[in-house]
């Protein structure tokens, strides 16, 4: 039985008629750049995320970049962030010639460990950039307290966490800025790249709207230098359809996660996702930790089950960041996670037989060792 890591075809088949109708409407009007669907989606997502403003941009990576630009981050500035995350988190910092300062993660949640954050702050630090990894929020109370103490901005990388909550507060709503990704594999994924910046600050929202159109307002008048980063109208139309199903899809992911948790319960050779009681995860990924991870991946492959390593090389050990001076062993928990974790299929369209096949294959590997 084949079980892909993610089956977007199965998702599309359920909503095909709705998607095609919205796309046809956009083609009929031929307003492909900043059409009405974009502003509608911005309002809808902002409401769901419990902020005042959403600004649609071309990708989650650009959302991070524009958030940093809006805070005037530049050469010499330092941003404290996680090493165990997708490249864009730190790449956006480096693109502005600022310095990513990597700190270690909590070994249970894989999110930024607040115990290391304050130790990394210097007089050059301008912001803290926590990542809500795999669909659950970082420990925001502690992070926000440190930020207030040192008068730092907090930018939430919520690319994998739309709809997740921390003590009842929505991902992307707790810092001064929050960043979303609509990459196709996300819980709310488009038909290509897309992203959004969230904020409660009207001035920052307006600044990002200007920055996303080359820094122009009014047209052809540039008081600042921006970039070209607009959410396509077609993407907004697709996302509006999928937004109707977001809550249902995230709940199905939680049900699949609960099933895996129950099947793997009590086994010492596997660590399942650890979700604190004050968090509600959306399970963008279901990531387990297994000491002989690569052997398990091979067993999954032989049984036609998709899997993925998020992320095989922590950012502080990436070649492009050698200039920062980190070495192997500096961030042991991030390095251990990179060597021991693997994501299993968790998508909402997963059938019961598929789900059972995944669990049975993992159990067979663990018991047979």
Domain locations in the chain?
8-101+110-243, 246-368
Q: For the chain, what is the mean pLDDT? A: 97
pLDDT average, residue stretch 10-33:
97
| pLDDT score for 122 | 98
Q: Are 23 and 362 in contact (CB under 8 A)?
A: no
| pLDDT score for 367 | 84
Please tell me whether residue 91 adopts helix, strand or coil conformation. helix
Query: Tokens at residue 223, please?
Result: 């008081």
| pLDDT score for 331 | 98
Respond yes or no on whether the N-terminal peptide bond of residue 165 is cis (omega within 30° of 0): no
Closest CA to 97 of 68, 119, 120: 68
Query: Tokens at residue 184, please?
Result: 């196709």
pLDDT at 67 over 70: yes
pLDDT average, residue stretch 55-83:
98
Q: Spelled out in words, what is the top-level CATH class assigned to the domain 246-368? A: alpha beta
First to last CA, the chain: 23
Please tell me whether residue 33 adopts helix, strand or coil conformation. strand
H or E segment to which residue 253 belongs = helix 246-264
Those residues whose C-beta lies under 8 Å from the C-beta of residue 192, and which sit 6 or more positions away, are 184, 232, 235
pLDDT at 171 over 90: yes
pLDDT average, residue stretch 62-68:
98
Phi and psi of 33, rounded to 5°? -120, 120
Those residues whose C-beta lies under 8 Å from the C-beta of residue 44, and which sit 6 or more positions away, are 240, 243
| pLDDT score for 97 | 98
Q: Are 46 and 52 in contact (CB under 8 A)?
A: yes
Burial class of residue 308 in the structure, from the number of CB atoms within 10 Å of its CB (0-12 exposed, 13-18 middle, 19+ buried) = middle
| pLDDT score for 369 | 53
pTM equals 0.97
Is the CATH number of domain 8-101+110-243 3.40.640.10? yes
Question: Over pLDDT 70: what percentage of the chain?
Answer: 100
């Amino acid at each position: 039985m084949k079980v892909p890591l993610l089956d977007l075809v199965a998702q599309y088949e359920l909503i095909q008629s709705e998607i095609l109708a919205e796309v046809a409407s956009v083609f009929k009007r031929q307003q492909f750049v900043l059409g009405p669907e974009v502003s509608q989606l911005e309002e809808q997502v902002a409401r769901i995320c419990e902020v005042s403003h959403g600004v649609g941009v071309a990708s989650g990576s650009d959302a991070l970049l524009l958030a940093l630009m809006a805070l005037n981050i530049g050469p010499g500035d330092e941003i404290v962030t996680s090493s165990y995350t997708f490249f864009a988190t730190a790449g956006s910092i480096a693109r502005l010639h600022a310095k990513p300062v990597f700190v270690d993660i909590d070994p249970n949640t894989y999110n930024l460990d607040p115990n290391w954050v304050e130790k990394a702050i210097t007089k050059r630090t301008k912001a803290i950039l926590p990542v809500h990894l795999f669909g659950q929020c970082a420990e925001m109370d502690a992070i926000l307290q440190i930020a207030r103490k040192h008068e730092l901005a907090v930018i939430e990388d919520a690319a994998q966490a739309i709809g997740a909550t921390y003590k009842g507060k929505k991902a992307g709503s707790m810092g001064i800025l929050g960043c979303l990704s609509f990459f196709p594999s996300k819980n709310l994924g488009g038909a290509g790249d897309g992203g959004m910046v969230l904020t409660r600050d009207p001035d920052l929202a307006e600044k990002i709207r200007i920055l996303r159109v080359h820094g122009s307002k009014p047209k052809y008048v540039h008081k600042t230098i921006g970039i070209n980063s607009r959410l396509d109208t077609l993407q907004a139309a697709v996302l509006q359809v999928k937004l109707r199903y977001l809550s249902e899809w995230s709940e199905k992911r939680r049900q699949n996660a609960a099933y895996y948790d129950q099947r793997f319960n009590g086994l010492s050779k596997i660590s399942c996702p650890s979700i604190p009681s004050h968090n509600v995860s959306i399970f963008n990924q279901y990531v387990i930790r297994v000491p002989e991870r690569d052997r398990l991946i091979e067993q999954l492959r032989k049984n036609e089950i998709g899997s993925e390593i998020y992320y095989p090389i922590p950012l502080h050990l990436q070649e492009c960041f050698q200039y920062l001076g980190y070495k192997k062993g500096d961030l042991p928990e991030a390095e251990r996670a990179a060597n021991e974790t693997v994501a299993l299929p968790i998508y909402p369209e997963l059938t019961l037989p598929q789900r059972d096949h995944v669990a049975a294959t993992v159990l067979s590997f663990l018991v047979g060792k």
